[in-house]
Amino acid sequence: MDIRYSANQRDFKRYTTEETRKEFLIENLFLPDQVQATYSHVDRMVTIGIMPVNEKVSIDNGIDIWKNFGTEYFLERRECGMFNVGGAGKVYVDDQVYALNYKDCLYITKGAKAVHFESDDPAHPAKFYLVSAPAHCSYENRLIRIEDAAKRHIGALETSNKRTINQFIHPSVLKTCQLSMGMTVLEPGSVWNTMPAHTHERRMEVYFYFEVPENNVVFHMMGEGQETRHIVMQNEQAVISPSWSIHSGAGTSNYTFIWAMGGENQAFDDMDEIPTTELR
């Protein structure tokens, strides 16, 4: 498990490109039959990629890794949300089985012990993208199909940001301890996400970019509003955004991204907006 420690905005101003990428960028999420985990001390969020190909993969493949949390199993004191961004697959949670197609979402509550992942077809493996946050109470596991997500249509083609925000793990859909997750889909001809830029001191965020066409990239903007930096991101990569940082991006094509938040509240519109003309 890759462990990332908290970075502050004062030191961040002096980071080189390489240092910025090592601190916040998560690459190589999907390797065959492995659990790829990044533990960020920013709100103690864990970002995971699992691509089962020839095996039924347990989330506890790296049992010694989870000992970093001082628990007997991964979700003993955590909740977890996941999306399938690959071929059809199944997730086994204790005595329950969930079939996830492309862009389906599964929420797993605190206390689930045995969690396994499997692809229906090894030639077209599932790709499970997970984010986990600490939790102090349990609710109910729930499978949420893309068609059942709460949808918000915002932006316009004239401003290159026409997009649909699909809210999956969100108070309007189901109860969780603190985790919120959703998927934003940009229309063809639109490239900007999350504008006007904002911060929310009350919670951090992780972005996972996918459906980025071959030979295209996304310029992910971060940093304080008055001193921004960018990370050039490839398809199927994630980026950690501390509470003091903006989190916005523009691609060389349209794309899709999954956002995950954890922190003091789950109020989607609770943000401190920064007028675009004031960005530096």
- Cite the beta strand spans of 25-158 per DSSP E: 25-26, 35-40, 45-50, 57-58, 78-84, 89-93, 96-100, 105-108, 115-119, 128-134, 142-144, 150-154
List the domain boundaries for the chain. 7-278
Kindly give the pairing relationship between strand 237-241 and strand 203-210: antiparallel
Whole-number Å distance between alpha carbons of 124 and 31:
13
DSSP assignment letter at 54 = S
Give me the pLDDT at residue 196, please.
86
Percent of the chain with pLDDT over 70: 98
> Beta-carbon neighbour count of residue 82 at 10 Å?
27
Does the pLDDT of residue 218 top 90, yes or no? yes
> Beta-carbon neighbour count of residue 156 at 10 Å?
11
CATH class of 7-278: mainly beta
Contact 108, 174 (CB under 8 A): no
Tell me the average pLDDT across 25-39.
97
pTM of the model: 0.95
Whole-angstrom CA distances from 27 to 105, 125, 204, 209, 231 are 21, 19, 19, 11, 12
- Mean pLDDT taken over the chain: 94
